[in-house]
Amino acid sequence: MKATQQRTLAVNGITLSVHVAGPEHGRPIWLLHGFPECWYSWRAQIAPLVAAGYQVWMPEMRGYGASSAPQAVEAYDLLTLCADIQGAMDLLGQRQVCVVGHDWGAPVAWHLALLEPERVQAVVALSVPYAGRPKQPAIELIRAHFKDRFNYILYFQNPGVAEAELDADVAHTLRMFMQGGANGDLILKDKPASATLFDGINQPDRLPPWCSAEAFEVYVQTFAGRGFHGALNWYRNFERNWQRTEPLAEACVEQPALFLLGDLDPVGVLEAHTLLRMPKRVPRLEQHIVKACGHWIQSEQPDIVNGHLLRFLASHFPV
């Protein structure tokens, strides 16, 4: 991995920690991580992008690592998360960028493309598709569908409940997500609504092959001492997100877009309908299914992801 420099930016009323690598005047690419990850989840992408001439910006998103983690739930709505990145781009004087997002970083990337049609020249999303603003908040659909069964998003809704389980042992929590999150056990397992997240999930006895002990320690330090409250607040804004994005209800992502999904990623099951509708809202879409790959796609299959990413950039955001 290429050496990175950590910078602290005062933007949008918070402190945003950003790790940067690459030539000073390289075209900027923003890599936005998801839950429960960190900037280091992009470690396998840094060197290839820098070698291609890009400057790579990897924030610790609001609620993570050395960035601010406001207590209030409403401080984590989607447009506020976008404003953090927009403020950083403004501060850095960046007029043309490419934005890449994985997991929760993907909705931020999609909406940055909608909000910044001139500045965001190309967008890449991993795992989470986009098919426009739903007709009602997604949380309402989830509540109706999972009346008597466990659903991780519903479990995350009440502040303090999920925190008690996840914060008890940060390293254990991350191991459970890395293993169970990749193949769907955590989010697809059928169990009573009264269950906790880790009920019925076998505890892994080792790290997955794509995560070294050194990398795992970076993940652990992201949450050590602060827990998962800020990160979980992202899940508690579905209604607020729906309300605040009303002006974007009819908007399409007009930029060139690349979407990658692992064939074993449980999101493919949960978002099957969204995947079918995505081309109507993202007309310049290129999409690929990555074989033998779960949810942590850029870490599990970095060579394949990097190949798709570099080819896409060469066509739509060349150095």
First-residue to last-residue Cα distance in the chain: 20
For residues 267 and 180, which has the higher predicted lDDT (pLDDT)? 267
Query: What confidence category does residue 204 fall into, taking pLDDT thresholds of 50, 70 and 90?
Result: confident
CB 126 within 8 A of CB 262: no
Go through 243-263 and write b for each residue having 16 or more CB atoms within 10 A of its CB, e for each that does not: eebeeeeebbbebbbbbbbbe
Query: What confidence category does residue 186 fall into, taking pLDDT thresholds of 50, 70 and 90?
Result: confident
Q: CATH number of 5-316: 1.10.10.60, 3.40.50.1820, 3.40.190.10, 3.40.50.300?
A: 3.40.50.1820
Residue 231 per-residue DSSP state = H
- For residue 185, the model assigns a pLDDT of 79
Phi, psi angle pair for 58, to nearest 5°: -125, 95
Residue of 77, 84, 103, 265 marked active site: 103
Contact partners, residue 209, CB within 8 Å, separation at least 6: none
Residue 95 per-residue DSSP state = -
295 assigned to active site: yes
Short-list 126, 124, 120, 82, CA closest to 102: 126
How confident is the model over 130-160, as pLDDT tens digits? 999 999 999 999 999 998 999 999 999 999 9
Name the one residue in this structure whose structure tokens are 């466990």: 150
Short-list 292, 235, 283, 219, CA closest to 261: 292
Short-list 9, 5, 17, 53, CA closest to 226: 17
Classify 245 as helix, strand or coil. Answer: coil
Distances in Å between the Cα of 229 and the Cα atoms of 115, 138, 163, 174, 225 are: 27, 21, 6, 14, 11
Res. 296: pLDDT tops 70: yes
Class of residue 79 by CB neighbours under 10 A (exposed 0-12, middle 13-18, buried 19+):
middle
Three state DSSP letters for 256-318: CEEEEEECCCCHHHHCHHHHHHHHHHCCCEEEEEECCCCCCHHHHCHHHHHHHHHHHHHHHCC
CB 217 within 8 A of CB 188: no
Q: In angstroms, rounded to a whole number, what is the distance separating the alpha carbons of residues 308 and 299?
A: 14
CA atoms within a 13 Å half-sphere pointing along the CA-CB vector of 135 = 1
Res. 183: pLDDT tops 70: no
- For residue 90 the two structure tokens come to 């403004």
- For residue 117 the two structure tokens come to 């049609």
How confident is the model over 102-111, as pLDDT tens digits? 999 999 999 9
How confident is the model over 213-231, as pLDDT tens digits? 999 999 999 999 999 999 9
How confident is the model over 7-32, as pLDDT tens digits? 999 999 999 999 999 999 999 999 99
- For residue 187, the model assigns a pLDDT of 84
Gyration radius of the chain's alpha carbons: 18
Res. 182: pLDDT tops 70: no
Residue 149 per-residue DSSP state = B
The domain spans of the chain are: 5-316
Res. 310: pLDDT tops 80: yes
Q: What angle do CA 73, 77, 81 make, to 5 degrees?
A: 115
Distances in Å between the Cα of 178 and the Cα atoms of 59, 189, 234, 255 are: 21, 16, 19, 32
Residue of 229, 295, 308, 316 marked active site: 295
